[in-house]
């Protein structure tokens, strides 16, 4: 295999960060804000109680941006202060003593200013700090905070770093027809005149980037997980569909409690939908989710919400209960959150869907590796905190944790998670802390695993060559990976399946060198040598396989192997036996993932009648979309006629969108009125509307 050339971004050209060194330790934030939604502004007052960590401090520093500080008080005494370049410097009264606990009251005004996320390398979101949203067809008028990663400082002065946790009270005054959600429990609510005030208390330590405040005309659907109250805050128009997205929350929490061995660690669990983000953010006790997560029954097959609910729920342990000690340890949050989402997928949908889920995660990482950069998962080089949150710690991290499970075993995996979460409850561990707990749980040093997968970059790229001669099968495995901080040779526990006509024989080896040779006595020559047959490893493999081997793999392997075989048979398409096998998989394989791959290879090998039969019998939207794209290339006239007849009745939005897109290429001017009918109606993420708008414009230009 030629060495993979990864992207051109030099991630080592960024600022190097050491562990934080604070002058103060914040104990509690008492935040009060008054929202003036009609002028998109707010005023605030935050009482910060903190302990002095260093002697002889001449000025106290807090993070603050966007808002304008108007006064600082200690008790009845006004304090001098300066606000500049995102920092609030306060001159204390006298010299604070080491260990002394003080409370400062800070008053401020937003003066109608809102932070521009793009100035802080957060161009993908609409809000940083407090944001005001006008009413649209998608959302009512509302106000929300967005704190990740350093948005807290834009609406209350703070030591805005994940390693300084504090308890909180958030009191918000809004118009009386609105509700307010924040961290913790609702402890006070009062309506006075045209306004309403809500106070939320969280008496457990929490990092500032996990604080949240959302205000608007929400409807609240109450639920429970045992004695723990859980609620779903949705726009009034979304109430009929809310339980489709959130109805499994308690089941997911129970599943994660079993996985982690620790009961849900907070007094309640709310989820609230907001505009401005695509996924979610794991605010403690009150997760915010992009409103696209709400959908009708038709969309559920293509845009399910359970993976997102599972991911954010996992964060209530990994990220909120324990929180990274610094931003470059973010894999402690996101790898476990993403792995939790995979685990629930496999639990709820079965082994094959779990395999597909993990395969997709690996591909996401590979794309970033090839197109952008390669880096260790713990990488203290960053200019902005959110540069740590990428495909190297989300999908790659999930794949790494899956491999760890195979190395240490199921019992030890659950054991170390319970031990780690318990030891560092409400704390800020670093990666080295987790490594230690794993070693203690397993009873031996598995540091080699973390050295190569967490503290190093890249992944194994393997050239596999096989030869059978005189009853001996020889397998050469060459590691070809290269790059900065990439191991020259990985240590890999690896299974190999040897396929014969009527049986499969498994061999287990350790690959521990740059070039290794492995020999096995076999009476007959294997038809197929399948490396990593359970797809446990995060590897790229270059291995030539015979046509006979690929045909056997297409028939007998697991879901990932069958899919790979369908695509790898591409050079053999003129062979009638290969085409027959692909047709069998396209119509009869038990997995939609394999059917989709096989269909993608049959553009020149199915008749019009066979394409129609494939469309009518396929019940999964993904391969049905592939049928549309391939049919329109092979037989545009009959495909166009089919679309005219079936477009309105297809039960998948993504298939309808594909039909509409293809009509821009194969349709006629007389089809434009039909396509225009799909511009106005709702569809998830506007997928059908956008396809219709683009296709109509294209057809009018013809």
Domain chopping of the chain, boundaries: 327-453, 459-543, 545-605, 631-702
| Mean pLDDT computed over 174-193 | 98
Q: Say if strands 142-146 and 185-192 run parallel, antiparallel, or are unpaired.
A: unpaired
What is the rounded distance in angstroms from the CA atom of residue 126 to the CA atom of residue 329? 26
Please state the rounded mean pLDDT for residues 131-153: 97
The residues that bridge with 505 in the sheet, in sequence order, are 498
- Average pLDDT for the chain: 96
What pLDDT, on the 0 to 100 scale, is given for residue 577? Answer: 97
The answer as to CATH 1.25.10.10 being correct for domain 545-605 is: yes
Instruction: At 411, list the tokens.
Output: 């019992």
Our CA angle for 208, 171, 316, nearest 5°, is 40
Per-residue confidence band for 8, with pLDDT thresholds at 50, 70 and 90: confident
Question: Model confidence at 5, in pLDDT bands (50, 70, 90)?
Answer: very low
Q: Domain 327-453: give its CATH superfamily.
A: Neutral Protease Domain 2 (1.10.390.10)
Pairing of strands 461-469, 540-543: parallel
Q: Using a pLDDT cut of 90, give the percent of the chain over it.
A: 97
* Mean pLDDT of all residues in 312-341: 98
Which CATH number is associated with domain 459-543? 2.60.40.1840
pLDDT of residue 7 exceeding 90: no
Query: Is pLDDT above 80 for 2?
Result: no
Specify the pLDDT at position 616: 96
The three-point CA angle 8-120-331 to 5° equals: 65
Confidence (pLDDT) at 1: 35
What is the pLDDT confidence band of residue 4, given thresholds at 50, 70 and 90?
A: very low
| Lookup: tokens for 320 | 């909120």
pLDDT band for position 702 (cuts 50, 70, 90): confident
Helix H or strand E encompassing 79: none
pLDDT at 78: 98
Check pLDDT > 60 for residue 174: yes
* β-bridge mates for residue 337, sequence order: none
Mean pLDDT of 354-381: 98
In the predicted model, is pLDDT for residue 575 greater than 70? yes
Instruction: Give the pTM.
Output: 0.96
Of 281, 40, 69, the C-alpha closest to 183 is: 281
- The distance of Cα 252 from the centroid of its chain, to the nearest Å, equals 16
- pLDDT at position 278: 86
Q: Is the pLDDT of residue 3 over 60?
A: no
Q: What is the pLDDT confidence band of residue 656, given thresholds at 50, 70 and 90?
A: very high
Condensed to tens digits (0 to 9), the pLDDT of residues 369-394 reads 999 999 999 999 999 999 999 999 99
Angle, CA of 196, 287 and 315, to the nearest 5°: 150
Question: Mean pLDDT across the stretch 482-508?
Answer: 97
User: Looking at the chain, how many residues does it have?
Assistant: 702
Does a cis peptide bond (omega within 30 degrees of 0) precede residue 149?
yes
């Amino acid at each position: 295999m030629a060495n993979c050339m990864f992207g051109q971004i030099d991630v080592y050209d960024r600022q190097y960060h050491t562990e934080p060194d604070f002058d103060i330790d914040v104990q509690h934030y008492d935040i009060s804000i008054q929202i003036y939604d009609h002028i998109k502004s707010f005023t605030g007052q935050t009482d910060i109680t903190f302990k002095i960590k260093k002697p002889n401090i001449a000025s106290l520093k807090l993070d603050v941006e966007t808002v304008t500080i108007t006064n600082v008080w200690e008790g009845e005494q006004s304090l001098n202060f300066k606000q500049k370049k995102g920092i609030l410097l306060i001159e204390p009264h006298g010299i604070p003593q080491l260990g002394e606990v003080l409370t400062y009251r800070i008053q401020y005004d937003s003066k109608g200013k809102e932070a521009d996320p793009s100035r802080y390398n957060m161009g993908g979101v609409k809000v940083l700090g407090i944001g005001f949203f006008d009413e649209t067809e998608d959302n009512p008028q509302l106000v929300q905070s967005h704190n990740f990663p350093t948005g807290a400082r834009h609406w209350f002065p703070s030591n805005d770093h994940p390693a300084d946790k504090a308890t909180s009270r958030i009191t918000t005054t809004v118009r009386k027809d609105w509700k307010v959600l924040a961290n913790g429990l609702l402890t006070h609510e009062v309506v006075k005149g045209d306004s309403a005030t809500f106070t939320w208390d969280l008496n457990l330590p929490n990092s500032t980037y996990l604080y949240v405040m959302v205000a608007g005309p929400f409807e609240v659907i109450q639920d429970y997980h045992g004695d723990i109250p859980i609620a779903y805050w949705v726009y009034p128009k979304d109430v009929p569909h809310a339980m489709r997205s959130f109805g499994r929350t308690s089941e997911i929490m129970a599943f994660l409690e079993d996985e982690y061995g620790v009961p849900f660690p907070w007094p309640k669990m709310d989820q609230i939908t907001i505009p401005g983000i695509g996924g979610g953010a794991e605010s403690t006790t009150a997760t915010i989710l992009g409103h696209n997560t709400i959908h009708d029954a038709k969309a559920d097959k293509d845009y399910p919400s359970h993976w997102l609910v599972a991911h954010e729920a996992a964060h209530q342990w990994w990220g909120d209960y324990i929180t990274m000690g610094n931003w470059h340890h973010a894999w402690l949050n996101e790898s476990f959150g993403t792995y939790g989402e995979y685990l629930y997928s496999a639990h709820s949908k079965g082994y094959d869907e779990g395999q597909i889920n993990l395969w997709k995660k690996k591909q996401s990482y590979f794309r970033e590796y090839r197109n952008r950069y390669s880096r260790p998962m713990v990488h203290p080089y960053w200019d902005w905190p959110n540069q740590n949150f990428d495909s190297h710690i989300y999908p790659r991290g999930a794949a790494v944790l899956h491999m760890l499970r195979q190395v240490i075993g199921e019992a030890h995996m659950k054991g170390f998670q319970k031990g780690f979460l318990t030891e560092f409850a409400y704390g800020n561990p670093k990666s080295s802390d987790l490594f230690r707990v794993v070693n203690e749980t397993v009873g031996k040093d598995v540091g080699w695993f973390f050295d190569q997968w967490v503290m190093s970059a890249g992944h194994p790229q393997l050239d596999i060559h096989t030869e059978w001669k005189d009853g001996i099968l020889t397998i050469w495995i060459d590691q070809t990976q290269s790059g900065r901080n990439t191991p020259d040779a990985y240590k890999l526990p690896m299974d190999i399946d040897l396929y014969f006509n009527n049986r499969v024989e498994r061999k287990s080896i350790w690959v521990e060198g740059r070039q290794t040779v492995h020999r096995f006595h076999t009476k007959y020559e294997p038809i197929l040598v399948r490396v990593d047959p359970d797809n446990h490893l995060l590897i790229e493999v270059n291995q030539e396989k015979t046509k006979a081997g690929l045909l056997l793999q297409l028939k007998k392997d697991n879901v990932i192997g069958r899919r790979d075989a369908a695509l790898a048979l591409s050079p053999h398409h003129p062979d009638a036996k290969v085409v027959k096998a692909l047709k069998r998989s396209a119509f009869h394989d038990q997995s939609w993932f394999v059917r989709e791959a096989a269909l993608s290879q049959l553009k020149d090998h199915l008749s019009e009648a066979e394409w129609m039969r494939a469309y009518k019998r396929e019940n999964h939207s993904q391969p049905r979309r592939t049928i549309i794209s391939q049919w329109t290339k092979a037989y545009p006239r009959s495909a166009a006629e089919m679309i005219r007849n079936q477009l309105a009745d297809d039960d998948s939005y993504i298939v309808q969108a594909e039909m509409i897109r293809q009509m821009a290429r194969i349709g006629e001017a007389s089809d434009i009125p039909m396509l225009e009918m799909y511009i106005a109606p709702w569809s998830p993420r506007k997928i059908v509307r956008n396809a219709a708008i683009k296709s109509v414009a294209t057809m009018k230009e013809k």
